[in-house]
Each structure stands twice: as C-alpha cells, then as structure tokens.
C-alpha cells in the first residue's frame, strides 16, 4: 500500500492551498484597513464641517445638537472639569491718580485698611514730584500697572494716562478735588511748615528752600506775582484730568474742555473734598468690593486720631485784595471745579443722596461771606 501522505504531489497541493490562504488573508486585511482609513477620514471631515458651521453660524449645527441631546447633556467636562476659577469683581482695575493736597493722604490711609479687609492689591507709589511723563515712561508705567494681580487699586500723583492710546486695557479712574484756592493755600504752607505728623518733616520735603522763601508772606507772593503764586504753577488741578499732552499744562479753554471730556469718559467718580463723607458713601455704593464699610472706618475714633495728623500747620487766609487777584488768576481752575461739583451733585441725586451744598453761584466758601464782591470769571 502506498503512503499518500508522503507523496510529493500531495505535498505540492498542500503547499499551494496554504499559500492561497495566506494571500486571501492578507488581501482581506488590506481591504479592512482601507475601509477603516476611509471611515476615519470621513469622521474627520464631518467634524471639520461641523466646526466650520459652528463658526459661520455662531453656534453648533443642528445635527450636533441632536446628537448631544440623544447621547445626553452630561459630559466628562461637566462632571470632572477643572475647578471654577476665582470670579473677579467689576471693575477689577482701578486707578486713583490723586491730586496733591486734596485729601489724598487721608484716602490712602483708608485704602490701606480696606485692602487688608477686602483682600485687594493696593499699590501706592512713593513718587510725588513726577506727574508729567515722556512717551516711553507712560508706556512702561502702564505696562507695569497692567501686570498687577487683579483686583487692584493703583494710586500715584500722576496726570491722566490714556491706556487705550497704546492698545492697553483702560482701568477705571477715581479722584477727589477741592476748592482751588483752598488747595493752593494748603500746599503753600505745607511746603514750608509741614503737618502735625512731625515738626520737622517740611525740612525733609524742601531741604533746599532758603529761609527768605520759607517765611515769604503769602500776600507779597500773590501781589508781587512771584512764580509760585502765578500761572502756570497755579494751573494745577486741570492737568490731572487733561492728561500728558503738553497743551494740558497751558492755562486755557482747550485743556479745561479736554479734562471735562476725560472725566465723562474715563472716571467713575470725581468727588469734592468739601463733601468727603458723601464721596466715601458714593464710593461704597459704586465700588463695594473696594470701599465697603469705608464710612464706618472713617468715622471711627481710632482713624480720626490718626487722620488728624495730616492737617497742614501755620495756615492762614490772605487779605481780601490778594484773594481777588488769586481768584482771577485761577479762573480756569474754577471753571473745572464748578463742573466737577455739578457732576458730583448730579451723581448724588441719581443715587438718592441730598446735596449738602445749596450754593448756585459757585464761589469759594470764604468769599461768600464778603458782601458786594465782584468775582466774575
């Protein structure tokens, strides 16, 4: 009997069958791979088209919404997403470009207490005598301000900075001003004799001032037209709101009108020192995340004991004749001050606070008592 299993012919047939199996298996695998590849490409094309529809129509296409509704609203991000980020108050960027001798030291003392209480970042600059900046200095300062962790309140003696001019997000501004003559008198005597915080602090601030200038009678300064008592140095408040343009430092209608426009467009509130409690109350209403409880802190005995040390010493009022001359020289300052006072009273009316001042003539308080005084601007 022949052994067919060992026949060469049978072995050749077996080898052929195995080869054909391997061939068809390989071809079938290739066919499946092409089909899977085509499916992936079709899926990718579908999502690309969906993304395009989403962007063109302002939302996802209807089919994707139906798919999500079919699959259910819950997603992995919904159930296992990252922790909710800290919600910032609005506004979260505030600048107080404080005007000199307008109660700014009192307000800064309050801000230090409030920053600790409400956990916002208070940055108070120690630069007092550089309010006008070059273009590069403006950009550097604005970029530095923009890097402060929010919410923040930045304060410095500096003229208005226009952030949007350099394509930087514009913070909200606040400020306080006072009667221009009262501000001038406070500054005049403060430079010479300081305040109640220390008997010799004026010598530190103005070490180069000679005795003949330090003890110069203010009436002589005004009537004899000393530089300190005449323009452009009397034109002090308006540039804080007009800005960094060179013409902002020239007494005139252009600077005043530009300052008014900036107040309307960029300042949340500009108060007047003569009604400081109302200013604080409005700040508490408008910026509660910064100024909540500020009025109760301001009225507390502990703060009054500390705040009274900021009063200027040896201050006295010039003669009536000197006041008349000074008032005429400061007509643009009073134009702006009267505008701010009207705006402040209008804001109080909108909030529901009754104005404490019923004066419609817009004259300095210490001049109102003098009869028949012609002070036309």
Dump strand ranges (E) for the chain. 93-96, 121-124, 152-155, 172-177, 267-272
Spot the catalytic one: 157, 245, 289, 362: 157
Closest to 298 in 3D by CA, of 29, 109, 154: 109
CA 146, CA 313: separation in Å to the nearest integer?
38
Phi/psi of residue 372, nearest 5 degrees: 55, 45
157 is catalytic: yes
Closest to 173 in 3D by CA, of 157, 190, 161, 182: 161
Q: What is the dihedral of CA 146, 119, 269, 353, to 10 degrees?
A: 170
Instruction: Determine how many CB atoms are found less than 10 A away from the CB of residue 111.
Output: 20
**Structure tokens given for 22:** 């391997």
Contact 230, 328 (CB under 8 A): no
Q: How many CA atoms, within 13 angstroms, populate the side-chain half-sphere of residue 138?
A: 17
Q: What is the dihedral of CA 151, 156, 161, 167, to 10 degrees?
A: -40
Closest to 117 in 3D by CA, of 235, 290, 247: 290
* Strand pairing category for 152-155 and 172-177: unpaired
Task: State yes or no: cis peptide before 91, omega within 30 of 0.
Answer: yes
Positions marked active-site: 157
């Amino acid at each position: 009997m022949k052994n067919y299993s060992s026949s060469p012919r049978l072995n050749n047939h077996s080898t052929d069958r195995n080869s054909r199996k391997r061939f068809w298996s390989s071809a079938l695998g290739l066919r499946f791979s092409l089909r899977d590849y085509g499916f992936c490409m079709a899926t990718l094309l579908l999502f690309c088209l969906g993304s395009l529809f989403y962007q063109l129509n302002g939302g996802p296409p209807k089919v994707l919404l139906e798919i999500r509704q079919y699959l259910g609203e819950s997603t992995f991000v919904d159930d296992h997403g990252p922790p909710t980020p800290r919600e910032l108050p609005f506004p979260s960027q505030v600048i107080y470009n404080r005007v000199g001798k307008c109660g700014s030291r009192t307000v800064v003392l309050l801000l230090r207490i409030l920053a600790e209480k409400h956990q916002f970042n208070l940055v108070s600059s120690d630069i007092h005598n550089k309010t006008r900046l070059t273009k590069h200095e403006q950009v550097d300062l604005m970029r530095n301000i923009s890097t402060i962790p929010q919410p923040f309140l930045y304060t410095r003696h500096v003229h208005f900075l226009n952030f949007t001019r350099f394509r930087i997000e514009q913070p909200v501004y606040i400020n306080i001003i006072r009667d221009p003559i009262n501000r001038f008198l406070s500054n005049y005597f403060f430079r010479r004799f300081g305040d109640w915080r220390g008997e010799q602090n004026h010598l530190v601030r103005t070490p180069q001032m000679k005795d003949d200038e330090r003890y110069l009678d203010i009436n002589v300064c005004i009537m004899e037209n000393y530089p300190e008592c005449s323009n452009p140095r009397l034109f002090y408040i308006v540039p804080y709101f007009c800005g960094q343009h060179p013409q902002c430092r020239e007494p005139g209608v252009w600077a005043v009108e530009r300052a008014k426009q900036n107040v309307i467009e960029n300042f949340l509130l500009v108060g007047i020192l003569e009604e400081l409690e109302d200013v604080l109350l409005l700040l508490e209403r408008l910026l509660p995340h910064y100024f909540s409880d500020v009025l109760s802190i301001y009225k507390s005995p502990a703060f009054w004991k500390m705040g009274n040390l900021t009063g200027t010493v040896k201050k006295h009022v010039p003669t009536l004749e000197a006041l008349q001359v000074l008032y005429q020289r400061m007509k643009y300052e009073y134009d702006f001050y009267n505008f701010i006072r009207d705006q402040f009273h209008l804001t109080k009316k909108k909030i529901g606070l009754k104005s404490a001042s019923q004066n419609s003539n817009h004259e300095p308080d210490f001049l109102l008592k003098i009869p028949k005084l012609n002070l036309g601007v």
